[in-house]
Amino acid sequence: MRNIVLLAALALAAAQTAVSAQTITVQSLMGDGYTVAGVTQPPGGGAGVFLQKGNALVFCLAFETPDSPTVATKYCKPVK
């Protein structure tokens, strides 16, 4: 029973981390004071955007589709 509770707690923590990571966008980071430090075009398509604030550097991948009205952030991750 303890193992099931432990696994459930780990799964919940992982799900919450994934949800919070999805709410970070290029727009939200720029609103928080980040500036564009560089851009790249990944081989898989889309646009890679490096955003920097002080010593913090974040990489975001943005995509668009022919049917979408905007370019949307797929994900953002800190660069270490």
pTM score of the predicted model: 0.67
The confidence score (pLDDT) of residue 70 equals 86
The confidence score (pLDDT) of residue 6 equals 35
- What distances in angstroms separate CA 42 from CA 4, 35, 54, 55, one per listed residue? 40, 20, 25, 24
d(CA 17, CA 14) in angstroms, rounded, equals 5
- Per-residue tokens: 40: 């790249």
Per-10-residue mean pLDDT for the chain, 80 residues long?
Answer: 39 41 84 96 91 96 86 92
CA angle 23, 27, 77 (to 5 degrees): 55
The confidence score (pLDDT) of residue 22 equals 52
